[in-house]
Structure 1
């Protein structure tokens, strides 16, 4: 069964980005990665037969953000040629933003000559490029909103054959696909280095692209699956991944998950949280190095625990410069802002040597100290590192699993006593059921129901803080946690359907998987919500939730004739269905009424939710076989009596102390952003 959608927690800013993304796409389909993404052949089928070629060593240049055609770009081109003449070089890795400011309009665009062929004419080497956000510009330079535009840079790789009357000036530009792999050095059966060039633009946030060919499902997942398989299949001694967007950086963009200071709890995709999950799943502790650009500076960063052995070099100063910012303050071996430059790397055996060069266009020696004996600003040698053994991650390809750390009891709220008693009662009930498959399901229903109570509690607590402190950010934070709790509730139910060894669920309980599959299929992706219609977006989640509740109820209706503990499971699901309906009403209120009405709906719906819990535990107790009731040892009212006591107290507390301030204080607050926290999905 595929993973359920992960809810995007978008802010008003992100909604505006969705609005801006409309119409920016193209109907053209993305270029396929390769016919066989696991093939070992290099992308350039012409082997290097140079007499001085040494297969035991690979030397490369790292050039990022090179496409401005600036004075700095010309100086870097000359400086690279001088370094390569002394140190030796086999290839250049182009780390994205290859053509500023807004990419190209066709394979015949003169910018290829103006911003690549001419500035870097002194470098007679193959350039293996990946795409950056500026290469995929839609509305303005760097928005990354038109991924189809990047295909023109792939087309330039094939221009000589596709446009024989207008061949390229040189054949140095290599980009056979938007993402690809190739080997260098060693033997065909045991390469010294394998390079994996990836397309980070669609994954790393920024403006969304309305072209469905570049959606998370149609493009992001496919690339992640390709890279997972390619890394596992590689026979190379060294594995190097290169892309435009960094995983960690002390530059102005910062770390993935905190890009540009965007609040991750409100706008996780914009902040790079999705890209962080992509990197951690596909290459962390697998790749020896991850090379990137994006920030216009030079950094050699220390490995971090979350990514295992993988090292990081950022080289984004080939044609633009920018100051370091240190928002995340990552430890480094070396860093330099406000300077043009590049990185030279040598891999030989189990040793890697890196040299960082600063370039000064105003200096006759180009900032190298000597044109005949260039001097690096920094040099480091290191031995190849062993993997530390990070746990396998599926945080990108299965987003819900990335939320396993969510603690449903992690924050204090008004409904905590009800949640505690609810959870305790269901744990006791599940433990007393002899059938392992039914017990597992009842446990899942208890966890799911507890999380649904947390949805309501988070909304109440957030609105309570917003009203009493007149701070709408508290309402947004509460709604963000409510979104996570809803996600957790659905995942808990899904996990409970995994059959015990040789023991699946009996009919009609075996239809629950199909009900969750239907919910997943009906739920929208980010791309489905790109028209910016908030009410329509909200229906994208509330309508599937109502349908899920209805489908669960249909399953419950067919259980009455079953024997054993199946009716207990049915009654438990009946309660869960009612909770889903109540929670859906709460979410609906967040987007379809004004602030004052929302508080009133919140009050009435919360009362209904508590009352429905009490009404719907009665069938559970009535249907429980005597051996189950006896095993619990609390009599036939093992759930209802305890819940009645705490629910009465909580309801009184809400009615007298919590809800009145909310009713009085919300009318003055602009809370229209709440609906967006449940509006879009990241699948």
Structure 2
């Protein structure tokens, strides 16, 4: 049967009169959307960082992102010295100015951050409403239509111990792993997402990390983690191992050559970031470059 525009409008008015919402844009049907960026804090690569930030603003607005995940190395070369360090302005406040990026930033520490005052990055949480790092490792929960997502943010500098610098800052790695296992075991969320700085698997310069494979991967597999988000290698990668999706988003301001990994689904040495959109039972993960062009997208299902 053919319907005219008048028929359509009358139908909407009739629905409203009966207190029935029109189905086209049902309230609460939007996915939980967020951006993931890493290794972005190079004030010396300001042009690249600004281009990526501009692209993030465009994609963030289009997809109504709720927050941003930072996978570490927030400030080069040696972190920040205090909450008043000029790098806060140069590398963060003056770069990520798009309206869509004025949302919470959930942050983890990277190895370069540990060359500075890491306590200052925790303290900045109390100074800036966007910056959110309440502890060196922590959990947040997000509701989405008909489901929920639990995010577990790690301090992987305390887990990675394959070099002298890692060993120096790994006083109590088992304490963090004990916390993570207990939280994963207790979580009833449909989506479990773990965030750290160092990759478990990577085709980038640093490659696979044996300590992370030995200590972290079994927990991801055992407790049904959907994805692990990280940076450290300055590239964009999607990999798959067992049932866990691994995403490297580490080219927010610096890039490096990389190679194809045996677990790779996608790899790019260019600048960019990741967009994740989650629904109750499925979702998507999409990489974009510094011009907001789509590079790769994959379905997520659990």
Q: Give TM-score, length-normalised by structure 1.
A: 0.38
Describe the superposition over 1:21-48 as per-residue Cα deviations: whole angstroms up to 9, x where unpaired.
xxxxxxxxxxxxxxxxxxxxxxxxxxxx
Give the 3 Å change call, closer, same or farther, for CA 158–53 of structure 1 in structure 2.
farther
Tell me the distance in 2 between the aligned counterparts of 1:152 and 1:334.
Answer: 36
Q: Is 2:156 aligned against 1:178?
A: no
Query: How far is the alpha carbon of 1:209 from its aligned partner?
Result: 6.9
RMSD: 2.1
Residue number in structure 2 paired with 1:467 = none
Q: Secondary structure at the match of 1:181?
A: strand
Choose from 31, 37, 44 the match for 1:57.
31
1:246 equivalent among 190, 194, 199: 199
Higher relative CO (Cα under 8 Å, sequence separation at least 6) belongs to 2
Distance in 2 between residues matched to 1:107 and 1:275, nearest whole Å: 31
Q: Hey, what does 2:180 align to over in structure 1?
A: 227
Structure 1 moving runs of 4+ over 3 Å: 52-56, 208-211
Q: Deviations over 1:223-256 (max 9, x none)?
A: 0100000001112110000100000000010001
Matched, 1:283 2:215: no
Match of 1:133 in 2: 111
Asked whether the equivalents of residues 236 and 249 of structure 2 are also in contact (C-alpha less than 8 Å), the reply is yes
Post-superposition shift, 1:215?
Answer: 4.1
What are structure 2's unaligned runs of at least 5 residues? Answer: 1-25
Measured in 1, the distance between the counterparts of 2:69 and 2:283 equals 16
Alpha carbons 2:236, 2:248 under 8 Å: kept? yes
1:314 equivalent to 2:272? Answer: no
* Structure 1 portions without partners, runs of 5+: 1-51, 139-148, 160-167, 258-273, 360-366, 369-374, 385-683
Distance 2:97 2:27 in 1: 22
Change (3 A) 1:313 1:111: same
Higher strand share: 2
Give 1:104's aligned residue. Answer: 80
Aligned position for 1:194: 150
For 2:219 and 2:227, locate their aligned partners in 1 and report how far apart those are by CA, in whole Å. 13
Q: Using the alignment, how far apart are the partners of 1:115 and 1:181 within structure 2? A: 26
CA contact (8 A) 1:64 1:317 kept: yes
Deviation at 1:355, TM superposition (A): 1.2
CA contact (8 A) 1:56 1:185 kept: no
Q: What secondary structure, in the 3-state scheme, does the structure 2 residue paired with 1:204 have? A: coil
Aligned length: 271
> What SS does the aligned partner of 2:294 have?
coil
For 1:79 and 1:196, the matched residues in 2 are separated by 26
Q: 1:249·1:330 contact (CA, 8 Å) conserved in 2?
A: no
What secondary structure sits across from 1:302 in the alignment? strand
CA 1:279–1:155 in structure 2 vs 1: closer, same or farther (change >3 Å)?
A: same
Greater radius of gyration (CA): 1
Q: Offset at 1:276?
A: 2.3
Equivalent residue runs for 1:662-673 within 5 Å: none
CA distance in 1, matches of 2:198, 2:248: 9
Q: C-alpha distance in 2, partners of 1:61/1:67?
A: 16
Give the match for residue 124 of structure 1: 102
Alignment match, 2:68: 92
Q: Give the Cα–Cα distance (whole angstroms) in 1 for the partners of residues 27 and 34 of structure 2.
A: 13
Partner of 2:23: none
Q: For 1:96 and 1:227, how far apart are their aligned partners in 2?
A: 19
Query: Following the alignment from structure 1 to structure 2, what is the Cα–Cα distance between the partners of residues 210 and 239?
Result: 28
Matched residue, 1:342 = 273
- Alpha-carbon offset, residue 175 of structure 1: 0.5
Whether the aligned pair in 1 keeps the contact of 2:157 and 2:166 (CA below 8 Å) is no
Partner of 2:121: 153
Question: Aligned equivalents of 1:279 and 1:347: distance in 2?
Answer: 24
User: What is the rounded CA distance, in whole Å, between the counterparts of 1:302 and 1:209 in structure 2?
Assistant: 26
**Aligned residue in 1 for 2:288:** 357
Aligned to 1:441: none
